[in-house]
Amino acid sequence: LATGDRDTARLLTEDLHEADLGAILEALEPEERTGLIQLLGTAFDFTALTELDESVRVQILEELPAAAVAEGVRELDSDDAVYILEDLDAAEQAEILAQIPSIERQALKRSLDYPEESAGRRMQTEFVAVPPFWTVGQTIDYMREEEDLPESFYEIFVVDPAFHLLGTVALSHVLRSKRPTPISELVDEAHHLVPATEDQEEVARMFERYNLVSAAVVDEDGRLVGVLTIDDIVDVIQEEADEDLKALAGVNAEEEISDTVLWTARSRFPWLFANMFTAFVSASVIGAFESAIAGMVALAVLMPIVASMGGNAGTQAMAVTVRAIATRELRGRTARRVLARELSVGFLNGAVLACFVGSLAGFWFGDPHLGVVIGIALVLNLIVAGTVGVLVPMTLDKLKVDPAVASSVFVTMTTDSVGYLAFLGLATWWFALR
Amino acid sequence: LATGDRDTARLLTEDLHEADLGAILEALEPEERTGLIQLLGTAFDFTALTELDESVRVQILEELPAAAVAEGVRELDSDDAVYILEDLDAAEQAEILAQIPSIERQALKRSLDYPEESAGRRMQTEFVAVPPFWTVGQTIDYMREEEDLPESFYEIFVVDPAFHLLGTVALSHVLRSKRPTPISELVDEAHHLVPATEDQEEVARMFERYNLVSAAVVDEDGRLVGVLTIDDIVDVIQEEADEDLKALAGVNAEEEISDTVLWTARSRFPWLFANMFTAFVSASVIGAFESAIAGMVALAVLMPIVASMGGNAGTQAMAVTVRAIATRELRGRTARRVLARELSVGFLNGAVLACFVGSLAGFWFGDPHLGVVIGIALVLNLIVAGTVGVLVPMTLDKLKVDPAVASSVFVTMTTDSVGYLAFLGLATWWFALR
């Protein structure tokens, strides 16, 4: 790269898979990335850009001349092209689109007009559609002669003259039938239609549930406009699971390890800020028992144990509930069964742990009464933890708030506050400290 | 179902997708499930069993007569059959296998002999393999005539006489070539081989990285033994992401909402038990400052704020790191960059939050000194949180321990202890309380 030796660079990258070429781009210093791409010129496969973190991709696209990007994007399947263009701001998009011939530009624009994270954004606009009265032989001949078909595909669509979908035929069924067989005999009518405006998360759930490999995308008039294939959906599934995990930990779903310090700090701040208020709420519970603590400092030493263990039990119940909601397992009758189960689990584990914690605390401060008090407080807090662990995500889901994002704040605030309240309140009453 | 009306039941379930039939089985009371299956008899599609939670599936399989299960399993693709049989204990497996004809039994047994969660368990043993000297026409004729081929497939394999894989051909390429074209001209040699003993998580990562739709599975001698398709891998990807999320929350990866109370309580207990010890460690830090607290009860009220906010910041850094490790983004040079980034983020957010927390605390207790002390303690704890949030998962990963499972314990123990130590220690020194 340093010597600008174009032939060697081309030779070295020629046989690389796009994913590996992408990895090389990410490992390079930011200044060197566009250098490599321009060195490779037309030999650079723009598909590699789809494998990059968003921040790296945007950096590269902004530095490359619009004409070069336009040419590279034209070589791609429409879904990859849209994926690359969608992160750019409107002015840059327009500049690149202006360099693309009209027909292709229209198709890209239509896809970009669909909302973010919708099926329309992810779909491929190249597909094979045939009328039902064709035979297998005609279909095979058409596919042999037609130039403008997708790189690879797994199903062909059967449509009426108005481009309404009548059904699908798996390629393997076409191959395994005799040439004179009419396509209409092979059609599988139990197809799954995806409206172009559908959220990608819903689409991914459909693919998973019905083990689909591809699905037809239709516009508001029910006309076939594209196809979604499983390889796009795999990325969506991975993204959505990632979002849930990060959301539970209070991290923005879009955070990537290549983001800048300032961006990261700012995106994590709101969560910590919310946590500050909940922490003050719990602290005010403690504040109500200042005189009890002044009379018996051991209470201050032991109280975080009750709060921390409740927090953990609540997080366990919450994680299971959030996942069950995300995978649509939790509804109606199941919900009540799950709540009952969490209450019982909280009571059981609370009772067993109370024996351990009670004994340890009793011995530590040489006061069995303290052990009894902390034990009872722990059982109470673990039952509450199980309850809020189920109820908070379920309530948020009903209120159309993403339970993964907001649950933790409420659950830990409750387990902290109830932990302090139960322990300090019980101790005040038991030892008559007031 | 109550009236035992077989024809109506068959009529009602006939057009159902296996996933929907599975959902109906799960919604039924346990006693009714086998009743429905036996009522449907041969009309019951055993594929529906693959859609159930493990505990429900095992319950049904144990209650059904072995002969009925054997017959149902024979109808399935080999990967679904293995999926259903693998959860049963050895004696029940043997009983069912005994009722299956020898050749099919051998194939199932071979798959079951591979380790759990390996490629060999997930693969399908039906596939299309042809020699390279065949033409497209011969291949199409073979597929038309051969009976025993998989339900649907996307690639055909090209093999030498010893069944070593030479390459793959996408079905769409076969369809789009003229009959006299030799297969050898269409072969894509850049295929991805999966050893049958490979862990499914590694395989899923390969599928994702290279956007594969199917991949060949080979035995230790490099001979083709099966094929993995993306629909199996989608389940694996979902499972693995699920495991990470649950592990971070201290929940067993296999926990499902249909598990019993006792099983759930027992599987969650170890984590809470570990948390008990770490809670006592943090408590002992507080214990060292008993006299300081006795002299100034406000310290007891405020100290959980420092610990809790540190815990949250640590969890944020940890979640990002754990995911970066899981997706193999974090290695070598990147690791040092990420650590530096987390330190800076911790310092930045710590500084901003310290202003808020310091002011609030100072006003609450009418003592600006207290505000300064808690502010400094908070900055320190957030820097420590960022550091351990990165270092703990990375160290565990180096020690070959799953970072998702064990990180939380260490991270929260550190942020709790450091939070108490920094705040109480600083206060003792500042106010000369000792």
Q: Note the pLDDT tens digit of each residue in B360-374.
A: 999 998 899 999 999
Q: Phi and psi of B289, rounded to 5°? A: -110, 25
The minimum CA-CA distance between B91 and chain A, rounded to whole Å, is 31
Considering only the beta carbons, identify the residue of A250, A309, A357 that sits closest to B312: A250
Measured CA to CA in angstroms, residue B126 lies from A376, B136, B173, B204, B227 at distances of 60, 20, 21, 20, 8
Decide which of A216 and B379 is more confident: B379
Tell me which of A325, A345, A412, A418 to substitute to probe the interface with B (most B C-beta atoms closer than 10 Å).
A345
Q: Which residue of A has its CA nearest to B276?
A: A309
B 268-327 → A contacts, CB under 8 A: 268-269, 271-273, 275-276, 278-280, 282-283, 286-287, 290, 293-294, 297-298, 300-305, 307-309, 312-313, 315-316, 318-320, 323-324
Class of the B129-246 domain? alpha beta
B264: number of Cβ within 10 Å: 24
Give the whole-angstrom CA distance, residue A158 versus residue A134: 10
Give the whole-angstrom CA distance, residue A20 versus residue B235: 25
Q: Which residues of chain A have pLDDT under 70?
A: 1-7, 10-11, 14-15, 148, 151, 190-191, 331-332, 433-434
CATH number of B261-430: 1.10.357.20
Confidence of residue B60 (pLDDT cuts 50, 70, 90): confident
Give the whole-angstrom CA distance, residue B384 versus residue A412: 21
Considering only the beta carbons, identify the residue of B237, B275, B294 that sits closest to A237: B237
Give the whole-angstrom CA distance, residue B56 versus residue B33: 9
Q: In a 3-state reduction of DSSP, which class is residue A176?
A: coil
3-class SS letters over chain B: CCCCCHHHHHHHHHCCCHHHHHHHHHHCCHHHHHHHHHHHHHHCCHHHHHHCCHHHHHHHHHHCCHHHHHHHHHCCCHHHHHHHHCCCCHHHHHHHHCCCCHHHHHHHHHHHHCCCCEHHHHCECCCCEECCCCEHHHHHHHHHHCCCCCCCCCEEEEECCCCEEEEEEEHHHHHCCCCCCEHHHCCECCCCEEECCCEHHHHHHHHHHHCCCEEEEECCCCEEEEEEEHHHHHHHHHHHHHHHHHHHCCCCCCCCCCCCHHHHHHHHHHHHHHHHHHHHHHHHHHHCCHHHHHHCCHHHHHHHHHHHHHHHHHHHHHHHHHHHHHCCCCCCHHHHHHHHHHHHHHHHHHHHHHHHHHHHHHHHCCCHHHHHHHHHHHHHHHHHHHHHHHHHHHHHHHCCCCHHHHHHHHHHHHHHHHHHHHHHHHHHHHCCCC
Tell me which of A127, A153, A172 to substitute to probe the interface with B (most B C-beta atoms closer than 10 Å).
A172
Q: Which residues contact A432 (CB under 8 A, 6 or more apart)?
A: none
Q: Is B261 on the interface with A (CB under 8 A)?
A: yes
Which segments of A123-260 does DSSP mark as H helices, in order?
136-145, 171-175, 200-210, 230-248
CB contacts of A17 in chain B (<8 Å) are 190, 210
Give the whole-angstrom CA distance, residue B270 versus residue A21: 44
Contact A57, A33 (CB under 8 A): no
The minimum CA-CA distance between A95 and chain B, rounded to whole Å, is 30
Give the whole-angstrom CA distance, residue B95 versus residue B67: 9
Tell me which of A56, A238, A257 to substitute to probe the interface with B (most B C-beta atoms closer than 10 Å).
A257
The predicted structure's pLDDT at residue B332? 67
B252: number of Cβ within 10 Å: 20
| The two three-digit tokens of residue A423, written as one number | 């322990």
Q: In a 3-state reduction of DSSP, which class is residue A223?
A: strand
Q: In a 3-state reduction of DSSP, which class is residue A217?
A: strand
Span B217-257, pLDDT tens digits:
888 888 888 888 887 788 787 777 777 778 878 787 777 77
pLDDT at residue B433 above 70?
no
Span A271-314, pLDDT tens digits:
888 888 988 988 888 888 888 888 888 888 999 999 999 999 99
Q: How far is CA B429 from the centre of its chain?
A: 48
- Total residue length of chain B: 434
Q: Identify the architecture of domain B6-113 in CATH.
A: Alpha Horseshoe (1.25)
Give the whole-angstrom CA distance, residue A374 versus residue A304: 11
Confidence of residue B18 (pLDDT cuts 50, 70, 90): confident
Does the distance separating the beta carbons of A301 and B275 come in below 8 Å?
no
Decide which of A5 and B395 is more confident: B395
| The two three-digit tokens of residue A45, written as one number | 């496969």
Measured CA to CA in angstroms, residue B160 lies from A153, B107, B387 at distances of 26, 22, 54
pLDDT at residue B62 above 90?
no
| Residue from A383, A232, A387, A394 nearest A323 by CA | A394
Mean pLDDT of B158-165: 86
Fold classified for A129-248 = CBS-domain (3.10.580)
Instruction: Number of A to B CB contacts under 8 A, please give it.
Output: 301
Percent of chain B topping pLDDT 70 = 94
Helices (H) and strands (E) in chain A, counts: 19, 6
Q: Give ranges for CATH 1.10.357.20 in chain A.
A: 261-430
| The two three-digit tokens of residue A124, written as one number | 């491929």
Decide which of B309 and B113 is more confident: B309
Kindly give the pairing relationship between strand A155-159 and strand A165-170: antiparallel
CB neighbour class for B16 (10 Å; exposed up to 12, middle 13-18, buried from 19): middle
The predicted structure's pLDDT at residue A177? 82
Name the strand (E) or helix (H) holding A18: helix A18-27
| The two three-digit tokens of residue A307, written as one number | 């709060």
Q: Which residues of B349-387 are buried (b: 16+ CB within 10 A; e: fewer)?
A: bbebbbebbbebbbebbeeeebbbbbbbbbbbbbbbbbb
* Distance from the first to the final alpha carbon of chain A: 77
ipTM attached to this prediction: 0.70
Percent of chain B topping pLDDT 90 = 17
Q: In a 3-state reduction of DSSP, which class is residue A170?
A: strand
The predicted structure's pLDDT at residue A361? 92
Q: Which residues contact B250 (CB under 8 A, 6 or more apart)?
A: A312, A315, A316, B268, B271, B272, B275, B408
**Could you tell me which residues are beta bridge partners of residue A124?**
A227
The predicted structure's pLDDT at residue A5? 67
| The two three-digit tokens of residue B379, written as one number | 């900055």
Measured CA to CA in angstroms, residue B120 lies from B77, B79, B167, B169, B238 at distances of 14, 9, 20, 22, 19
Give the whole-angstrom CA distance, residue B358 versus residue B373: 8
Contact B420, A305 (CB under 8 A): no
Mean pLDDT of B60-88: 78
Give the whole-angstrom CA distance, residue A369 versus residue A372: 5
- Residues B144-152: contacts with CB under 8 Å, at least 24 apart: B144/A175, B144/A176, B144/A177, B144/A178, B149/A172, B149/A176, B150/A172, B150/B77, B150/B124, B150/B126, B150/B227, B151/B77, B152/A170, B152/A172, B152/A173, B152/A213
Does the distance separating the beta carbons of A173 and B171 come in below 8 Å?
no
Tell me which of B25, B211, B233 to substitute to probe the interface with A (most A C-beta atoms closer than 10 Å).
B211
Does the distance separating the beta carbons of B251 and A249 come in below 8 Å?
no
| CA dihedral (A335, A337, A340, A342) positive or negative | negative
The predicted structure's pLDDT at residue A2? 57
Give the whole-angstrom CA distance, residue B128 versus residue B130: 7
Span B165-210, pLDDT tens digits:
888 888 888 877 888 888 888 887 766 788 888 888 888 888 877 7
